[in-house]
Structure 1
Amino acid sequence: MFERIAELAIRRSRLVLIVAVVVVALMGALGAGAFGKLLGGGFDDPASQSSRARDVIDEKLGGETNLVFLVRAADGRIDAPAARQSGRALVADLKEEADLQNVVSYWDTKSPDLRSKDGREALVLARVKGHDAEQQENAKGVIDDYAGTYKDTLTVKAGGSAGVSYEMGPQTEEDLVLAETIAVPLILLLLLVVFGTLVSALLPLAIALIAIVGVFAELYVVGSVTDVSIFAFNLTTALGLGLGVDYALLMISRFREQLAAGASVEDAVRKTMSTAGRTVAFSAATVAAALAALMVFPQYFLRSFGYSGVGVVVIAALASLFVMPALLNVLGHRVNSGRMPWARRARSGARESGWGRIARTAMRRPALTALPVLAVLLLAASPLLGITFGTADERVLPEDAKSREVSVSLRENFNGNDAAALHVVIDQAVDKAPLAAYAAKLSGLEGVARVETGAGTYVDGRPEATGPGNAALGRPTAQQLNVVSTLTPKSDAAKDLVDEVRAAAPPSGTQPLVGGGDAELVDSNASIADRLPLAVGLIVVTTFLLLFLFTGSVVQPLRALVLNVVSLGATVGVMTWIFQDGHLSGVLGFTAQPMETSMTVLMFCVAFGLSMDYEVFVTSRIKELHELGEDNESAVVGGLGHTGRIVSAAAALIAVSFFAFGTAEISFMQLFGLGSGLAILIDAIAVRGILVPAAMRLLGRSAWYAPGPLRRFHDRFGLSEDGPAPRRPVAVNPQEKDSAGV
């Protein structure tokens, strides 16, 4: 197959490039509308109890409150005549909005719970109509019209889930632009350092551009038929830049190496495709397999990263396999044009490189070199002992975000946080007496400030004598009880309250559904925990099978999996130390909170896939030398001597694309970017450079073991970087290899 692709690139290179330009233009036109198709949220399991409770509320009770207006008197108390008059006018205007329903305010109900303790602020609660994208657009229109100063007497801030989504979307776009602005110039600079020529340095960016534009088009199509998270863009750009550069680096390096050895342009293209091309295809398969596991989760936030991740891997690989050889064939020796001054300096041979010497030291003294590295990695992983998990809320936004300021005020200045209430839904008719008894029972639970029903409000097990209750909570066919607590949202105590409410005996013959933010957190964590074994199992099985097909050994896949677990444990441990425990929060500007469950799973899958990418790069060359008859030490030293610089350069380049998201204002994107970048560097330096050669030394000849039947299976169906192993070694002049630039 790779030989046929090479011949196509040689004989029809200009046609291939013309088709590629047309396809990219079409994808760009299609992908331009992708932002309008994607959604915020997506952290909940649609089949969970909390999601079903929300569905009942939407269907029978007018929908959950998702928009909170915090109204503050510009001068004096909220009950002053001018403020009261403006407040009533504001509520009247909001009730006229076609996109809002269930508008409830302090001025309507006179409920002291909707007025701040100092009397300067009041709340207006509402439901934004619509579903997903329509709801987001409706919320934007309402917030744009009313947030800010109203009639010179009130200041209005928007919060609730609609307010958070309103601010999170634009912030995501800003973070994306800033990350690209930082990453692209840095990557170009590093490519100039690595390749030493301008033309070679620009080619990987062309592949990355194709990958990014292609996935934007894919997200437009997928977003038109199913829910896709807006944060998929961030993974698309980071992976597109990283993998586009990664694969192109390997292809260009092998092509320049062949030219430096005296091969013709056509033969160099053929050799590049049969070696580096095969490795790119196999590496892409391992990365895609890890990211595809995200699709087993019911949350569309995680599934979205599976869609975009697999898409960007496939498109980057296809561009590298079809467009890159055509470009190389057209450019020929001009690939070395625009030489940088430092490129003239001689480099030592690959086998005598620094990576080769490190590998030789690790092979000869495995305990002395590997044990300190393992100790450091285990120390880095130690914060995992205290890890806790949560879901994204307004705290992922900067402290000056308006929706976050609303949440802080609700928590600190009001008697209970209405926006964070638990919603208990009974999807049938209920008599008044058992409903009242149930509400009274719930109001007596520790941490509950009050329970609001359609018939009245209950505090400390007794009905409150202030009004008839919220009529919107009661319908002939359904009842809703709002359990308002004084607990910090997403805290352990708040999660315990969810369990207590669900355990409370309901009215006879009913099966209440408990929803709300804290219930969604409990259900989301449980859902991810239920599916995690399946996702991990799929990753392990597919990785094992792919590496077996590539190496012919059952030991090599096990060795790779064990070392990956160690490096990923260290990465997640460091991120826990930073983002959960709060270290470096002053430098990075985030609020410490439990690890975001979905983002931690995502980071694991991305980092695992990319580490397998480098595993294939290194193992392929070691295996090639092993099959040429070299002993274990020589094969490992030579393999790392050949690939160490490529792997370290590729790791640095892809890490830059992830580290750029450390500048994001949304904290879980900082977590994802910094964690993924750190995982890549740990894998490329500590694992590939030291732990792999030390493990290979300890394993010895058994590193290539496979039972007889599996060995015969691999001989027939297995893959290798260079196809069938040659019968005799091929001499390579180190000085000729030096002139290739990598």
Structure 2
Amino acid sequence: MARLLYRLGSTAFRRWPLFIAGWLLLAVVLGSVAAAFSKPMSDEFTIPGIPSEAAADLQQELFPEAEDAFDDATVNVVVAAPEGHTLDEPQYADAIADLIADIPSLPQMSGDPEANPGLVDPTVAAQQAPPAFSPLSEDGRIGTLSFEWDVETASDIEPESIEAAEELFADHEGAADGFVVEANGPGMQSMSPPGGAAELIGIGIALIVLLLTFGSAIAAGMPILTAIFGVGLGMTGITAMTALTDIGTSTPMLATMIGLAVGIDYTLFILARYRSELHHTDDRQHATGIAVGTAGSAVVFAGLTVLIALSALAVVRIPFLTAMGLAAAATVLIAVLVALTLLPAILGMLKSWTFRGRFRSEHVERDEHGLVINNGVRWGRFIGRAPVAVVAIIVIGLGALAVPISQMYLAFPTDSTAPTDTTRRQASDLMTEAFGPGREGPLLVVVDGRDIADDGARQAAFEQVTTWAGDQDDVADATLAATNEAGTGALIQVTPESGPDEPATLDLLEALRDGQSGIEEQTGTATGVTGLTAITTDVSDRLTGALPLYLLVVVGLAFILLMLVFRSVLVPLTATLGFLLSVLATLGATVAVFQEGALGIFEGQPIVSFMPIFLIGMVFGLAMDYQVFLVTRMREAHVHGLSTREAVVDGFRNSARVVVAAATIMIAVFAGFMLEEDPVVKSMGFALAASILFDAFIVRMALIPAVLYLLGEKAWWLPAWLDRLLPNVDVEGTSLERDSLPAVRDDDIDDLDDDKELVSV
């Protein structure tokens, strides 16, 4: 592989106009296809095989007019009078009337007055509503009214519309003495992705890190520009794919996040190796070939581990997660190809200008043998003084951080878990006070009575199912809410006594499903349980159940890949165990900070259900990046004759600064998402940033080298039969001849001398 990549890199350097033109042509073609044939991204949320999805399909058969729970764009407006007052008092009745009159003026509202029958004074609506559906609390102090945005799905609601609604509600608060107006519901949740502020902050910090790493404005800008180009190409490709298949609006989010991070890292690694190779050759084309042949090989295998981790999300069998994983994997593939071909072409175009624009020169310290002495060498030797102590401290420390994981509670976010200063949370608290916590998370039992011929017997069966549902534990109310026109189907709304994110509600859902076969046999009906609470619970169960298989696929394939790279059994094993340690510590820290509210930084709330599998997928791929980047240099030094102890120090000499820079950039990119308002985005940003901190700086930069010191030459042990079986991919570039260098032109010598001022890594 090293020879193949050497030829690719040197050819791209020599024929840079063709390679750059090829990439630009590809961008133009994809952009043209996207502009001409792309379709709007969809937000259809289907998860084949889960019980609630089957029940929802049954509901659609019996009630064709019923809308999908995820398409609901309803806003629940909660109004309240102060303690000791009721909403039917004239001042509060007038305030409600003014509010109802102003709501239709909001953007994205239908002009048809009949479109929102829920915009009724709750004191009036309560007179005709059954007790279970009453919009007015028993004391008459708190009431609800509702309206629906004039959109096809909730994802079509514009953030500006929600902001306008919040401003309107704030303006009407205080219209009467102590009058309160809050709102929640699916129509108050913006589906827009995080804004560009997080990405801009990450890019800004990345630029600072790269400037410090290279000391050159031009060199520092190259990884960022190529990464942005690669991400842009990936996003254009995803948009173009909408012409062939449905793609959800959430699909590009992961691709942008991971594509930007690895795009910078991969280019940084090859560029740093190119600068280092200028120590060994005065020919830039040859230096580029060596850099792509060695560092490029590491990039290929690092990229493959990320591709495996992202593509394996398909085993979860959740379509939107599969689409996100495959789109992100495609963007990572583009990042690898950009680093292997576009970067060498740019180096060929710039030639001696690559490291121009310097703002500092660096003094290079060398030992008596002429080897560079830098902070990486000092750190490697420090670890080598007491490797047992380093291993013990890290294992105990990360193990302690992982302890809170035993208390982890997974759920999807609801209005009741929103931050306390939001109108969604305050509306939820008022509804809980007025109607109980279960009002916001009802379960829907769908009853199919088409096999019962007699109308009277069918109605009796519906009532029997209603009674059975109401007799379950933790049920506040069970009401026969509707029957279809043919009288063959019924909907029973079951209101729990507990909230939608509480374990008691999940126990109720399980009890209803466990008893389905019995009640079906007694009544001759077919039943199913659905509703938003049931759907999100089933999704959580699917995610949890798929986690062991996902880990097996990802870790198994990556282990084989790492054996090819390092030609060792113990190095991949320690790499995998180190990853498990860092990801457990990350999950424990996330539970402590976000669920338990440790340090008082964030309010306690459940961890979003897809966090563990999402985190494992991303972190495993990125962790193996740093493992490959750092340990391949150690392996290369060992192959060229150094002992394991000397090879570890040499690996730090050549790669420590690059790994530190890459990890710092990654942490900056992910930590920027903690500035977003959405708690889920905050928690994901925190978890990803913490995982890179633990894995790159603690596991890869300290634990792994300490273990290598302890293993010594045994670290590279590989059974003879396996050595014969595994192909030699030559990541170290041992097949490359560094002494067969082309002649140097005299006019290049001065430029090369300038380049070498900052060559040490």
Report the Cα distance in structure 2 between the residues aligned to 1:419 and 1:698, rounded to whole angstroms: 57
After TM superposition, list the pairs within 5 Å mapping 1:605-644 onto structure 2: 605-644=617-656
Structure 1 pair 3–366 and aligned structure 2 pair: CA distance change class (3 A): closer
The answer for the alignment partner of 1:460 in structure 2 is none
Counterpart selection for 1:356 from 351, 360, 377: 377
Counterpart selection for 1:581 from 582, 591, 596: 596
Counterpart of 1:77, as a letter, is: L
TM-score normalised by length of structure 2: 0.84
Does 1:69 pair with 2:71? no
Does 1:45 pair with 2:47? yes
Report the Cα distance in structure 1 between the residues aligned to 2:161 and 2:195, rounded to whole angstroms: 26
After TM superposition, list the pairs within 5 Å mapping 1:435-514 onto structure 2: 435-453=462-480, 470-471=481-482, 476-504=487-515, 505-507=518-520, 508=522, 509-514=524-529
Counterpart selection for 1:337 from 356, 360, 380: 356
The answer for the alignment partner of 2:184 in structure 1 is 159
Does 1:319 pair with 2:330? no
Give the Å deviation of 1:29. 6.7
Structure 1 pair 474–536 and aligned structure 2 pair: CA distance change class (3 A): farther
- Say if 1:114 and 1:123, in contact at 8 Å, map to a contact too: yes
Structure 1 pair 600–79 and aligned structure 2 pair: CA distance change class (3 A): farther
- Say if 1:696 and 1:703, in contact at 8 Å, map to a contact too: yes
Of residues 352-361 and 241-250 in structure 1, the stretch that sits farther from structure 2 once superposed is 352-361
The answer for the alignment partner of 2:750 in structure 1 is none
Identity %: 26
The answer for the alignment partner of 1:467 in structure 2 is none
Report the Cα distance in structure 1 between the residues aligned to 2:474 and 2:416, rounded to whole angstroms: 22
Report the Cα distance in structure 2 between the residues aligned to 1:101 and 1:298, rounded to whole angstroms: 37
Does 1:645 pair with 2:657? yes
Structure 1 pair 526–707 and aligned structure 2 pair: CA distance change class (3 A): same
Counterpart selection for 2:575 from 541, 560, 569: 560
Structure 1 pair 258–422 and aligned structure 2 pair: CA distance change class (3 A): same
The answer for the alignment partner of 1:268 in structure 2 is 287
Deviations 1:680-705 (A, max 9, x none): 12222211222112211332332222
The answer for the alignment partner of 2:58 in structure 1 is 56
Structure 1 pair 655–51 and aligned structure 2 pair: CA distance change class (3 A): same
SS in 1 for 2:47: coil
Structure 1 pair 348–660 and aligned structure 2 pair: CA distance change class (3 A): farther
Does 1:547 pair with 2:552? no
Structure 1 pair 240–396 and aligned structure 2 pair: CA distance change class (3 A): farther
Give the Å deviation of 1:389. 1.2
Which consecutive residues of structure 2, in runs of 5 or more, have no partner in the other structure? 453-457, 742-753
Give the Å deviation of 1:306. 0.5
Counterpart selection for 2:729 from 704, 707, 718: 718
Deviations 1:417-453 (A, max 9, x none): 4441001111334622232232123223333221121
Report the Cα distance in structure 1 between the residues aligned to 2:35 and 2:140, rounded to whole angstroms: 48
The answer for the alignment partner of 2:310 in structure 1 is 291
After TM superposition, list the pairs within 5 Å mapping 1:11-50 onto structure 2: 11-25=14-28, 27=30, 37-38=40-41, 45-50=47-52
Counterpart selection for 1:208 from 201, 207, 227: 227
Does 1:531 pair with 2:531? no
Counterpart of 2:638, as a letter, is: H
Report the Cα distance in structure 2 between the residues aligned to 1:180 and 1:28, rounded to whole angstroms: 22
Counterpart selection for 2:7 from 4, 20, 25: 4
Report the Cα distance in structure 1 between the residues aligned to 2:310 and 2:627, rounded to whole angstroms: 16
Report the Cα distance in structure 1 between the residues aligned to 2:758 and 2:738, rounded to whole angstroms: 27
Report the Cα distance in structure 2 between the residues aligned to 1:596 and 1:539, rounded to whole angstroms: 22
Does 1:240 pair with 2:259? yes
Counterpart selection for 1:382 from 396, 403, 407: 403
After TM superposition, list the pairs within 5 Å mapping 1:566-715 onto structure 2: 566-584=581-599, 586-587=600-601, 590-714=602-726
Report the Cα distance in structure 2 between the residues aligned to 1:296 and 1:8, rounded to whole angstroms: 39
After TM superposition, list the pairs within 5 Å mapping 1:215-234 onto structure 2: 215-223=234-242, 228-234=247-253
Of residues 673-682 and 19-28 in structure 1, the stretch that sits farther from structure 2 once superposed is 19-28
SS in 1 for 2:526: coil
User: Aligned residues, how many?
Assistant: 709
After TM superposition, list the pairs within 5 Å mapping 1:363-442 onto structure 2: 363-394=384-415, 397-415=418-436, 417-429=438-450, 431-442=458-469
SS in 2 for 1:184: helix
Deviations 1:616-650 (A, max 9, x none): 11121111111112212111221222211111111
Root-mean-square deviation over aligned CA pairs:
3.8
Give the Å deviation of 1:52. 2.0
- Say if 1:390 and 1:525, in contact at 8 Å, map to a contact too: yes
- Say if 1:2 and 1:278, in contact at 8 Å, map to a contact too: yes
Counterpart of 2:379, as a letter, is: I
Report the Cα distance in structure 2 between the residues aligned to 1:437 and 1:139, rounded to whole angstroms: 44
Give the Å deviation of 1:723. 4.8
Of residues 631-640 and 66-75 in structure 1, the stretch that sits farther from structure 2 once superposed is 66-75
Deviations 1:264-298 (A, max 9, x none): 12112211221122221111111111111112222
Report the Cα distance in structure 2 between the residues aligned to 1:407 and 1:28, rounded to whole angstroms: 45
Of residues 685-694 and 560-569 in structure 1, the stretch that sits farther from structure 2 once superposed is 685-694
Give the Å deviation of 1:156. 7.5
The answer for the alignment partner of 2:537 in structure 1 is 522
- Say if 1:79 and 1:119, in contact at 8 Å, map to a contact too: no
Give the Å deviation of 1:487. 0.9
Report the Cα distance in structure 1 between the residues aligned to 2:36 and 2:187, rounded to whole angstroms: 22
Deviations 1:488-526 (A, max 9, x none): 221111111112222334252233211123322331222
Deviations 1:189-233 (A, max 9, x none): 111111100000000111111122122123324455556554444
Report the Cα distance in structure 2 between the residues aligned to 1:385 and 1:378, rounded to whole angstroms: 12
Report the Cα distance in structure 2 between the residues aligned to 1:563 and 1:54, rounded to whole angstroms: 43
Report the Cα distance in structure 1 between the residues aligned to 2:463 and 2:27, rounded to whole angstroms: 63
Give the Å deviation of 1:379. 0.8
SS in 2 for 1:506: helix
Which consecutive residues of structure 1, in runs of 5 or more, have no partner in the other structure? 454-469
The answer for the alignment partner of 1:456 in structure 2 is none
Give the Å deviation of 1:482. 0.4
Report the Cα distance in structure 2 between the residues aligned to 1:257 and 1:141, rounded to whole angstroms: 51
TM-score normalised by length of structure 1: 0.86
- Say if 2:261 and 2:669, in contact at 8 Å, map to a contact too: yes
Structure 1 pair 639–384 and aligned structure 2 pair: CA distance change class (3 A): same
Give the Å deviation of 1:346. 3.5
SS in 2 for 1:424: strand
Report the Cα distance in structure 2 between the residues aligned to 1:99 and 1:284, rounded to whole angstroms: 56
SS in 2 for 1:446: coil
After TM superposition, list the pairs within 5 Å mapping 1:84-163 onto structure 2: 107=124, 109-112=128-131, 113-124=134-145, 134=153, 136-137=155-156, 159-163=184-188
Give the Å deviation of 1:562. 1.0
Of residues 58-67 and 256-265 in structure 1, the stretch that sits farther from structure 2 once superposed is 58-67
Report the Cα distance in structure 1 between the residues aligned to 2:392 and 2:214, rounded to whole angstroms: 35
Report the Cα distance in structure 2 between the residues aligned to 1:87 and 1:608, rounded to whole angstroms: 52
Of residues 480-489 and 442-451 in structure 1, the stretch that sits farther from structure 2 once superposed is 442-451
Report the Cα distance in structure 2 between the residues aligned to 1:118 and 1:668, rounded to whole angstroms: 36
Counterpart of 2:528, as a letter, is: L
Give the Å deviation of 1:725. 7.5
The answer for the alignment partner of 1:252 in structure 2 is 271
Structure 1 pair 727–82 and aligned structure 2 pair: CA distance change class (3 A): closer
Structure 1 pair 185–353 and aligned structure 2 pair: CA distance change class (3 A): same
SS in 2 for 1:114: coil
Of residues 228-237 and 364-373 in structure 1, the stretch that sits farther from structure 2 once superposed is 228-237
- Say if 2:38 and 2:242, in contact at 8 Å, map to a contact too: no
Give the Å deviation of 1:475. 5.3
Structure 1 pair 423–91 and aligned structure 2 pair: CA distance change class (3 A): farther
